[in-house]
């Protein structure tokens, strides 16, 4: 009898990671969201090689996460900007940063953020409907990818 074919669970997390989960992609989004829009600045601040950065930027652009804007004709040079979809990924980055600060740098986070209210930023994911925190055990999957076995 042939082995049973494994069908991975349908999941927007997996689909999103296919798009932005490669090394450097989220760091590119971080840099653009911090105002670093030119290629050389991204190379410097991420540590990515020029070849890899080029490939990642093209993929993010073709997915509608970033867009290029020409700022020089001679030589031809571009700045990179987040699209509205790309800007939404900054919420993911802030949540990842909070986790890293808590579990990897509990005594001295490398970067601290201040909210527009003037207080240190302490992001929390909440349900839009009830305002409750979205923590483990507070939610459950539904829909076609929800089969748990």
Question: pLDDT at position 142, please?
Answer: 76
CA dihedral (44, 48, 52, 53) in degrees, to 10, reads -40
Question: pLDDT at position 119, please?
Answer: 93
Q: What's the CA gap between 9 and 146, in Å, rounded? A: 8
What is Dmax (Cα atoms) for the chain? 65
Using 50 as the pLDDT threshold, list the residues of the chain that sit under it: none
- Check: CB of residue 144 under 8 Å from CB of residue 10: yes
Question: pLDDT at position 143, please?
Answer: 73
Could you tell me the domains of the chain? 12-92 (1.10.10.10)
Question: pLDDT at position 5, please?
Answer: 79
Helical pair 25-33 and 12-20, crossing angle rounded to 10 deg:
80
Which value, in Å, is the radius of gyration of the alpha carbons in the chain? 19
Question: pLDDT at position 50, please?
Answer: 96
Question: pLDDT at position 1, please?
Answer: 66
């Amino acid at each position: 009898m042939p082995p049973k074919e494994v069908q991975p669970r349908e999941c927007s997390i997996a689909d999103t990671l296919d798009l932005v989960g490669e090394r450097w992609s989220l760091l590119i989004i971080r840099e653009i969201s911090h105002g670093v829009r030119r290629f050389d600045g991204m190379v410097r601040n991420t540590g990515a090689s020029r070849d890899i950065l080029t490939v990642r930027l093209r993929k993010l652009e073709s997915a509608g996460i970033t867009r290029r804007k020409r700022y020089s004709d001679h030589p031809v040079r571009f700045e990179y900007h987040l699209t509205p979809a790309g800007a939404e990924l900054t919420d993911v980055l802030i949540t990842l940063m909070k986790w890293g600060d808590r579990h990897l740098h509990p005594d001295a986070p490398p970067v601290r953020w201040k909210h527009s209210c003037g207080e240190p930023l302490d992001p929390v994911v909440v349900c839009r409907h009830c305002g409750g925190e979205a923590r483990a055990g507070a939610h459950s999957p539904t829909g076609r990818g929800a089969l748990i076995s």
